[in-house]
């Protein structure tokens, strides 16, 4: 249940801390949900009381990052929403906005590694610090260990000045002492040897130990480490072509004529990878409905559904509408798609997508997906998409907060919900129709185990024999129990699971 979002401004180059893996590639970006929008659009030029921006106190990139991280920790704020809100309020240069963004997402991504190193030098322990002081030390150590264009003396100086501004002389002295002591003992900032495989991976790639242990049990040590390494890499920027308006080849030519560096997706025939070209959501192509920002893995969902002209399609959990719109495009806007979501305010998101893309076949409705069997007669739909609520552990590179907020218990709870949702919507499909189940997680309990359980209890269903992904590079896809599991390292795209099932005709 994820999508691409407009690009995160690039920070400075990455540098290895101890045995930590080197990041690289494109830009990380905030994510606001399945295919939410995040940007740096300016706020109104004057505040409510008429004060102009120039009259307000200036905010530095580091101060903004500290405030965002503190709100995430203290108030449970979503990092992307809090960051975007504060970026709109502040008048930062593009470079400073990029640095603030890098500090927020990088610090969250590397949190337990940063705390492991800090713990040796903070006398009373990291957990005893005030949240804003803890955030300030974390962003400072992140700069020292992972960003190679900021001199260490500058990191310390900025941190001390900010500590004075936000606190008092005593705190600034402590911050100064901790950071200078770490610089003096830089060679000791390494992951210790002789750890278990799970402990080493957890510290080296900054993931919760329970999560690493779980993935080792599912996938083996080598693959589990590759997953964690990929989760710390900046995600690629990809867009989906609106084929009701143009072709991929024509749009790529237009993009290249402006200096953008693009290439065709090897996963989706409708996808374009944007290696360079700015924020795609701020372009005329986006405004005019020629493209949508979406991850490559997410594009495969509509491919699997394979809706045809004139069919009736149910999208059970549709908001904000990215996959809904892709299905409408594949139908050439001929037919009907019932796009349901439990949240009334998200109905407008679906319709906004449809309006921007010039799609009229989408009928957005509000209601609990568990009640769909009460609202529609059996055998009402030719195609059904259940893009199910999930743990989101396939999109950690876009939403690093997920690593620290999810628990093993959450996975079991949401797996139970997925089971019930499948049971409720299964009767709504016509015999011979296609039901696609998808998630943006890599957890077998939510994916292949869920489908195996469903098929065992529903003899009227079977795994589809005609693969929607035949001809694609097999290295990018793993077929399991009637579905395809995409891991985040396979194609530098989101971790996704997609199962294509058919209802046996009488």
Name the 3-class secondary structure at 422: helix
Kindly state the DSSP code that residue 346 receives in the 8-state scheme: G
Q: How many CB atoms lie within 10 A of CB 312?
A: 18
151 Cβ neighbours under 8 A, 6+ residues apart? none
For residues 464 and 473, what is the distance between their CA atoms, to the nearest angstrom?
19
C-alpha closest to that of 101 among 56, 68, 55? 68
In the chain, DSSP finds a helix count (H) and a strand count (E) of 19, 13
For residues 379 and 169, what is the distance between their CA atoms, to the nearest angstrom?
71
The verdict on whether residue 387 carries a ligand-binding annotation is yes
Reading the block at residue 208, the tokens are 């919760």
DSSP 28-77: -----SSS---------SB-TT--BGGGSPP--HHHHHHHHHHHHHHH--
| Phi then psi dihedrals of residue 500, to 5 deg | -115, 115
The verdict on whether residue 165 carries a ligand-binding annotation is no
Name the 3-class secondary structure at 1: coil
The verdict on whether residue 124 carries a ligand-binding annotation is no
The verdict on whether residue 363 carries a ligand-binding annotation is no
3-state secondary structure 190-206: CCCCCCCHHHHHHHHCC
Q: Does the annotation count 440 as an active-site position?
A: yes
Residue 280 belongs to what H/E stretch? none
3-state secondary structure 212-253: HHHHHHHHCHHHHHHHHHHHCCCCCCEEEECCCCCCHHHHHH
Name the 3-class secondary structure at 279: coil
The verdict on whether residue 317 carries a ligand-binding annotation is yes
- In contact, 296 and 267? CB cutoff 8 Å: yes
C-alpha closest to that of 450 among 497, 403, 496? 497
For residues 7 and 31, what is the distance between their CA atoms, to the nearest angstrom?
10
The angle subtended at Cα 187 by Cα 209 and Cα 180, nearest 5°, is: 100
Dihedral Cα 55, 59, 60, 65, nearest 10 deg:
-160
The verdict on whether residue 321 carries a ligand-binding annotation is yes
Residue with tokens 């960051």: 83
- In contact, 38 and 63? CB cutoff 8 Å: no
The verdict on whether residue 319 carries a ligand-binding annotation is yes
The verdict on whether residue 368 carries a ligand-binding annotation is yes
The angle subtended at Cα 4 by Cα 222 and Cα 2, nearest 5°, is: 70
Q: Does the bond joining 340 to the residue before it have cis omega, within 30 degrees of 0?
A: no
For residues 407 and 303, what is the distance between their CA atoms, to the nearest angstrom?
32
Task: Output the known binding site for S-adenosyl-L-methionine.
Answer: 317-323, 341, 368, 387
Catalytic annotation, residues: 440
């Amino acid at each position: 249940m994820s999508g691409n979002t407009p690009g995160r401004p690039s920070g400075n180059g990455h540098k290895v801390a101890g045995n930590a893996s080197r990041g690289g590639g494109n830009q990380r970006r905030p994510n606001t949900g399945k295919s939410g929008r995040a940007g740096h659009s300016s706020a109104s030029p004057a505040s409510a009381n008429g004060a102009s921006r120039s009259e307000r106190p200036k905010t530095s990139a580091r101060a903004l990052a500290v405030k965002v991280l503190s709100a995430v920790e203290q108030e449970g704020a979503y990092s992307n929403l809090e960051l975007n809100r504060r970026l709109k309020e502040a008048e930062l240069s593009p470079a400073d906005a990029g640095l603030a963004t890098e500090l927020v997402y990088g610090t969250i991504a590397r949190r337990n590694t940063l705390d492991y190193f800090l713990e040796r030098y903070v006398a009373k322990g990291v957990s005893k610090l005030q949240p804003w002081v803890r955030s300030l030390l974390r962003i400072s150590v992140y700069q020292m260990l992972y960003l190679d264009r900021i001199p260490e003396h500058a990191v310390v100086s900025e941190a001390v000045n900010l500590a004075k501004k936000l606190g008092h002389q005593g705190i600034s002295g402590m911050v100064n002492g901790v950071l200078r002591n770490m610089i003096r003992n830089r060679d000791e900032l390494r992951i210790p040897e002789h750890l278990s495989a799970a402990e080493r991976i957890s510290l080296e790639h900054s993931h919760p130990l329970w999560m690493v242990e779980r993935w080792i049990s599912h996938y083996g040590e080598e693959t589990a480490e590759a997953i964690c390494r990929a989760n710390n890499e900046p995600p690629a920027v990809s867009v989906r072509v609106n084929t009701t308006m143009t072709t991929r080849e024509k749009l790529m030519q237009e993009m290249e004529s402006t200096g953008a560096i693009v290439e065709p997706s090897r996963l989706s025939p409708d996808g374009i990878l944007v290696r360079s070209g700015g924020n795609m959501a701020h372009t005329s192509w986006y405004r005019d409905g020629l493209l949508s920002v979406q991850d490559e893995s997410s594009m495969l969902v509509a491919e699997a559904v394979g809706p045809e002209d004139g069919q009736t399609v149910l999208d059970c959990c549709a908001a904000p509408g990215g996959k809904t719109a892709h299905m409408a495009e594949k139908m050439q806007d001929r037919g009907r798609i019932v796009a349901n979501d439990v949240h009334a305010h998200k109905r407008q998101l679906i319709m906004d997508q449809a309006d921007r893309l010039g799609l009229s076949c989408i009928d957005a409705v509000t209601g609990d997906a568990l009640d769909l069997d009460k609202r529609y007669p059996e055998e009402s739909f030719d195609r059904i998409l259940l893009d199910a609520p999930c743990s989101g552990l396939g999109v950690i590179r876009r939403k690093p907060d997920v690593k620290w907020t999810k628990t093993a218990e959450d996975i079991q709870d949401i797996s139970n919900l997925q089971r019930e949702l499948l049971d409720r919507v299964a009767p709504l499909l016509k015999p011979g129709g296609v039901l696609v189940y998808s998630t943006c997680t890599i957890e077998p309990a939510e994916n292949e185990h869920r489908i195996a359980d469903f098929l065992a209890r529903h003899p009227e269903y079977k795994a589809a024999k005609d693969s929607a992904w035949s001809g694609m590079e097999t290295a990018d896809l793993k077929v399991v129990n009637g579905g395809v599991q995409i891991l985040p390292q396979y194609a530098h795209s989101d971790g996704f699971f997609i199962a294509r099932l058919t209802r046996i005709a009488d």
